Amino acid sequence: MTGGAGPSAGSGERERGQGSAAPQGADAGGGTWRRVMMARDREQAHRSSTPLELLFDLCFVVAVAQAGTQLHHGLAEGQGWGALPGYLMVFFGIWWAWVNFTWFASAYDTDDVFYRLLTLLQIAGVLVLAAGVPAALTHFDFAIMTYGYVIMRVALIAQWLRVAVEYPPGRPAALRYAGGVTLCQVGWLIRLALPHPWDLIFFVVFAVCEMLVPVWAELRGGHTSWHPEHIYDRYGCFTLIVLGECVSATSLAVQEVVSGRGASVSLVVLAVGALLLVFGLWWAYFKSEQMQALRSSLGTTMVWAYTHFLVFASVAGLGATLSVAAGTAAHETEVAPRVAAFMVALPVAVFLIAGNGLHGRLSGGFRIGQRYVGALAVLVVAMSWLAGPFGLAATVMAMALVLALLLALYLIGQHRATIHAAGAG
């Protein structure tokens, strides 16, 4: 990840006529052999995801789907919350690799042949990482997944070194990124030889070190010229990826149950409740503009970026837990209805608490107080106890209705705030 709230370090050079190395306009078709790596214009109009970035996202769909599928199997087979640490570890690797590619591309995407080939190497790493997810969650064997992760990171190190060579104003930060990421990869490889529980302890240590690299590089080396509109668009794309996996996992689970036992009233109610939950999470995330957080301080930007781990992981986890709920409703798992309802409630509660911070204090817009959202999140979790007397399907539907109530309160409050602002103006 890169960060910073200041203008591009290279904006003055572009004004002096050197031009940007980034692809601009119709000549960015991708036939260029080499462009000099320079900081992109932070204020470029209408900057959105490129076709290469979208292809990169599609490859991450495989990894996210693997993580959700293995979490579903672990929960359905009675591992309970023992499956959660492995899932969070796997998802951290997926999320952090995507984050680093995204923020680098926002600042230095030249879209030339060398850039594309290094991106291809990162895509290969994604696929190796995805292939290692089952072993990581089933046997706690992170070897294959670590190799895939390191492949992605080595390609990114090469990108940062290219910046250091070709773009002198960005060299201090680029060298810090390259050095910090390199040391972290050595640590990940050493961790593979550590016995349990040291491997788990040092996973946390190296994960923290990974997240501190951007802080060190940006504060000591100077801010990189990422594009706020582009970053916001990219995070929205990844949100849609995890929401899509949530829909896919639930649909497949319902389809499997229906093909074996036929549709029942409870299963239909559960499917509708699941759809409303997913739609409610989509609405809750995209209900307001978050660009203000990305134009604020470096600290605010990083809090915004890092908080998304909870948002992405909770949504992807919801797909797995809804699949477990569908199996439980059809009496095809050993999971009790209350436990299945709690599994559904927990990621929803995490999303509500984390997501509310992204749409208020960090973005500068209207928001419902965090204590009220926290109370509703606790209510959603507490509602899992209703699955015993009222049934699992009805409980999931009730959770969806609570989320709908929260959205209604937000829309009312936003409307009143808009009227008040217009009157004050």
pLDDT digits (tens, 9 = 90+) for 253-289: 777 767 766 667 888 899 899 999 999 999 988 877 7
Residue after which a domain boundary falls, among 199, 221, 243: 221
Decide if 31 is inside a domain. Answer: no
320 or 425, which is more confident: 320
373 and 320, same structural domain? yes
Decide if 7 is inside a domain. Answer: no
What average pLDDT does the structure give for the chain?
Answer: 86
Structurally, the chain folds into a number of domains equal to 2
pLDDT of residue 424: 67
339 and 260, same structural domain? yes
177 and 300, same structural domain? no
> Mean of the pLDDT values across residues 379-400?
94
Query: Contact 406/373 with Cβ under 8 angstroms?
Result: yes
261 and 339, same structural domain? yes
Say if residue 198's pLDDT is above 90.
yes
Whether cis (ω within 30° of 0) applies to the bond prior to 197 is: yes
Query: Contact 337/391 with Cβ under 8 angstroms?
Result: yes
Decide if 232 is inside a domain. Answer: yes
* Domain encompassing residue 215: 50-221
Between CA 26 and CA 343 the distance in angstroms is 49
Residue-level length of the chain: 425
Residue whose C-alpha is closest to residue 144's, from 93, 70, 100: 93
313 or 11, which is more confident: 313
277 and 184, same structural domain? no
| DSSP-derived secondary structure letter, 22 | S
Say if residue 84's pLDDT is above 60.
yes
Confidence (pTM): 0.87
Say if residue 2's pLDDT is above 60.
no
Q: What is the pLDDT of residues 331-361, one digit of tens each?
A: 888 889 999 999 999 999 999 999 887 776 6
374 and 236, same structural domain? yes
Residue after which a domain boundary falls, among 221, 250, 270: 221
398 and 318, same structural domain? yes
pLDDT of residue 381: 95
Between CA 28 and CA 22 the distance in angstroms is 8
What is the percentage of the chain residues whose pLDDT exceeds 90?
Answer: 56
233 and 217, same structural domain? no
pLDDT of residue 321: 93
Confidence of residue 233 (pLDDT cuts 50, 70, 90): very high
Residue after which a domain boundary falls, among 198, 221, 244: 221
* Residues contacting residue 72 through CB under 8 Å, at least 6 positions apart: 249, 253, 319, 320, 321, 323, 324
